[in-house]
Structure 1
């Protein structure tokens, strides 16, 4: 038993030197998510302002759209660099909370409608049945178009629930509490430089 405990402690000691790698993985996973979201908002900024105002009834829609857009774009760059991670994670968390409660909350948990999965809402079974009915009809009546639609994967119904936004929120919370990661971020090297002064 002592040998197992000793081996465990040695392994944990070795892993301690690589504890920045999971944080780097989180940052590199989140960066393209926010980059794409932010640059898409920037490319269609007037439409986003109108959606914030009319579709979501958010106050100060132009300001809210600008804050969301630039938080996501700047946040993506800082996530890649590992710079100011604890600071930038806070406005990114706020952006995710707004997305969760203003956009996705009415649709429940699931991002993709799946009646057999966790927290399926009341529409998931009906949405799946309708999709399968359409695909069956397409396969019977237009096999070439069916193949064209299904060639690269199974079509799904977007449920637009909070699932992805909640996952991103949890990942950002980890970055707030753990930081950017040892050896793999500008935050780490900037912190070391400040300590050496």
Structure 2
């Protein structure tokens, strides 16, 4: 009786969550990555300055190609997230872009202890890196990669058509 009284108020939330729990994540991530892609589209390539910091295999590619790959991934994949189309693939691509960005831009250039590394867990760079926000993006992309889009998605609609 007590369990039922405690769970009854959450029944509507359970139904709503079943339909669209992923939607806030998809909207948030689509906005953040698309905004970054637009900055690249409207800006000039600054990847040449940090080409040596890119992880393998991106360190072997020309900076211009890396710029194009990053820009188009950050323009196309957010649209896919928004529609819930190819959600797992779009999430995986954006995770790769984010890991490369962490390695090339956000990771501290030098650290000798976990305490030093911990100082890089910040939004602003005070000389210790600033990997907090990209790490948040990775964590937010993970459920979309693992579970895909929910029912409010083209992925779900297309699965039902087969």
1:116-171 deviations in Å (ceiling 9; x for gaps): xxxxxxx58xxxxxxxxxxxxxxxxxxxxxxxxxxxxxxxxxx7500110000011
Residue 21 (structure 2) aligns with: 22
Give the whole-Å Cα distance in 1 for the aligned partners of 2:50 and 2:79. 25
Quote the RMSD (CA, aligned, Å): 2.3
Aligned twin of 2:122: 110
Match of 1:59 in 2: 60
Matching residue of 2:36: 37
TM-superposition CA deviations, 1:12-42 (whole Å, max 9, x none): 5543322242310001011111111111112
Q: What is the aligned residue count?
A: 146
Task: Using the TM superposition, give the Cα deviation of residue 49 of structure 1 relative to its aligned residue in structure 2, in angstroms.
Answer: 4.1
State the partner residue of 1:156. none
How far apart in 1 are the matches of 2:106 and 2:146? Answer: 26
SS at match of 1:18: helix
**Structure 1 residue 188 corresponds to structure 2 residue 138:** no
Alignment gaps of 5+ in structure 2: 109-118
Structure 1 window deviating more from structure 2 (35-44 vs 162-171): it is 35-44
Q: How far apart, CA to CA, are the structure 2 residues paired with 1:52 and 1:73?
A: 22
Partner of 2:112: none
The answer to whether residue 2 in structure 2 is matched with residue 4 in structure 1 is yes
* TM-score, normalization by structure 1: 0.65
Distance 1:52 1:39 in 2: 20
**Which runs of structure 2 are paired with 1:108-147 in the superposition (5 Å)?**
108-112=120-124, 123=126
Residue 148 of structure 1: aligned partner: none
8 Å contact 2:73–2:93 — kept in the other structure?
yes
Identify the match of residue 132 of structure 2 among 163, 170, 185. 163
Structure 1 unaligned blocks of 5 or more = 114-122, 125-158
- Classify 1:191/1:36 alpha carbon distance in 2 versus 1 (closer, same or farther; 3 Å): same
Partner secondary structure for residue 87 of structure 1: helix
The structure whose Rg is larger is: 1
